[in-house]
Amino acid sequence: MAGSKNRHAAEASQEEAAAPILHTLSAFLEARLLPGARLCVGFSGGVDSVVLLHALDCLRRSGLSIDLSATHVHHGLSSNADAWSGFCRDFCRDHAVPLEITRVEVPRTSAEGLEAAARRLRHAAFSASPADWLALAHHRDDQAETVLFRLLRGAGVAGAAGMPAERPQPGGPRLIRPLLDVSRSQIMRYAETHSLAWVEDESNADSHYRRNHLRREVMPRLEGHFPGAVRALARAARHFAEAAELVEELAKADRATMAGDGGRIDVARFNALSPARARNLLRSELRANGFRAPDARWLDEALRQLKTAGAAAQTCIATADGEVHVYRGELYALAQRPAAASLALSWNGESALPWGEGRVRFVERTGKGITRRMLAGARVFLRVRQGGERLRPDARRPARTLRNLLQEAAVPPWERARLPLLWCGERLAWVGGLGVDAAFACAPGEQGVELLWETGDGRPLAGYARLGKQAAGTTTP
């Protein structure tokens, strides 16, 4: 009888410990996921991710319709990294959860710092997951630490918003943090009540790392003097997130009033904004183009230079993430991109050749593109500009220098060095974004090859359509 009572008491304790986490998870997922959704857990093997994966497995077994999997990133930074991977493999096997292990090489001398480099590679691995959703196990205490840490570094509204509960990943699964309303103590109670094992990363105990010092030294004292500080900081993050949404809406509204025909910001209208709104819009433009948040000094200097940029100026303001240009009175934010091939790339009938962050495709056509007979018997290759090239895009007009054609088409100078040029022997046959030379143009009914330049982000580069409407045989990237 006593054994039965103890068993029932233990089961009741398990249910009591699990209830807050299971309820939070269930409500979060049911509001977002469709039945059968592919949900992958970023699984480090630490207590937080162990509890998240265990709780999701419990919900799955209780009827939640999800296709559950896990991904573990092996950073190789610790001598225990292999053991951690082994633990994750065993845990997932015991719970019938498919696991993908990805090994990454973290540069130890990266200018961004070891932790930031590891985080960047980890999220790149997450983005490669074939799942619909990628769940991370950050909780309320993590959120409070993040807010305080960023405020101490002088973060603005967006930084003080902490970690979002949900955000898209370009080209990857949507990232979610379903435990942001769950405390660390609730997670520990769940793990201990269910007798779960986990791994401990020894670097988490090193208080030389500022984030660890904040977690181990500052937050406990803060909570001691200000009971409920963690909950209050997490609540403040939600307020900051709401404010960040409002300032982003303002940036979009401002952008809509000053975008030119090409969709870019008119610098003269930009300079008419108040300094606060100009900073807000520039921050938004940089984020939209893949830049990290710039510091206040860089923003002030950028605004100063933009104020002095005349209509004919060609201003360039560099950051670690890319460059901000002014060209013909418009603003361009250009993230770092792979360089185009400096050597010639021979074409031997392939369907595509790589070019920078994109590619050039060769598509069989009838009556379009470069005539097949002109491609036969000559060496065909892609190459960047060397200088002095001439192209005749219109059979009714003489050949002109590529420099003049590109200026007329308003192709920015920094893009001109990246253009793919197709040569047939010693003759220029095609220029990406401008089109086919008239001597190589395919006649109606003739077999040809159309060249399509596809950029990495899928967007056409600026200024090409203007000339494309005038030039025979032109394809716009």
User: Domain 2-233, what architecture?
Assistant: 3-Layer(aba) Sandwich (3.40)
Owner of token pair 């000339």:
467
The model's pLDDT over 433-454, given as tens digits with 9 standing for 90+, comes to: 889 999 999 999 999 999 999 8
Burial 174-188 (b: 16+ CB within 10 A, else e): bbbbbbbbbbbebbe
Q: What is the pTM of this model?
A: 0.73
Q: CA 400 to CA 424: how far, in whole Å? A: 18
Cα 154 to Cα 86, 292, 382, distances in angstroms: 40, 15, 48
From the number of C-beta atoms within 10 Å of its C-beta (0-12, 13-18, 19+), residue 30 rates as: exposed
- 3-class state of residue 43 by DSSP: coil
Ranges of beta strands (E only) in 53-168 are 66-74, 99-103, 133-135, 166-167
Look at residue 13 in the predicted model and tell me its pLDDT: 59
H or E segment to which residue 391 belongs? strand 390-391
Determine how β-strand 66-74 pairs with β-strand 37-42.
Answer: parallel
Cα 57 to Cα 40, 51, 68, 97, 436, distances in angstroms: 12, 10, 8, 8, 58
H or E segment to which residue 269 belongs? helix 267-271
Burial 345-355 (b: 16+ CB within 10 A, else e): bebeeeeebeb
Determine how β-strand 66-74 pairs with β-strand 99-103.
Answer: parallel
Q: Which amino acid, one-letter code, is at 354?
A: P
Mean pLDDT by 10 residues, the chain (477 residues): 54 67 95 95 97 97 95 90 96 97 84 78 90 97 94 89 92 94 95 95 77 89 93 95 95 93 88 94 91 86 87 77 88 80 84 88 92 88 90 89 88 86 93 91 92 69 38 34
Burial 229-256 (b: 16+ CB within 10 A, else e): bbeebbebbeebbeebeebbeebeebbe
Smallest Cα–Cα separation from 51: which of 24, 82, 27, 73? 24
Ranges of beta strands (E only) in 242-321 are 265-266, 316-319
CB atoms within 10 A of CB 321: 16
Cα 194 to Cα 54, 187, 201, 332, 337, distances in angstroms: 9, 11, 21, 55, 48
Contact at 8 Å (CB) between 266 and 254?
no
Look at residue 232 in the predicted model and tell me its pLDDT: 95
Determine how β-strand 352-355 pairs with β-strand 358-366.
Answer: antiparallel
Contacts for 426 with CB less than 8 Å, ≥ 6 apart: none
From the number of C-beta atoms within 10 Å of its C-beta (0-12, 13-18, 19+), residue 56 rates as: buried
Q: CA 52 to CA 20: how far, in whole Å? A: 12
**Angle subtended at Cα 94 by Cα 92 and Cα 98, rounded to the nearest 5 degrees:** 35
Owner of token pair 């109606």:
444
Q: Which amino acid, one-letter code, is at 210?
A: R
CB atoms within 10 A of CB 94: 9
Contact at 8 Å (CB) between 319 and 298?
yes
DSSP character for 398?
A: -
CB atoms within 10 A of CB 272: 11
Owner of token pair 């900081």:
233
Helix boundaries (H) for 95-132: 114-127
- 3-class state of residue 447 by DSSP: strand
Helix then strand then coil, % of the chain, to nearest 5: 45, 20, 40
Contact at 8 Å (CB) between 169 and 127?
yes
Residue limits of CATH 3.40.50.620 in the chain:
2-233
User: How many secondary structure helices (H) and strands (E) does the chain include?
Assistant: 17, 21
Contact at 8 Å (CB) between 327 and 260?
no
Q: Which amino acid, one-letter code, is at 242?
A: E
H or E segment to which residue 408 belongs? helix 402-408
- 3-class state of residue 417 by DSSP: coil
Q: CA 131 to CA 176: how far, in whole Å? A: 12
Contact at 8 Å (CB) between 384 and 345?
no
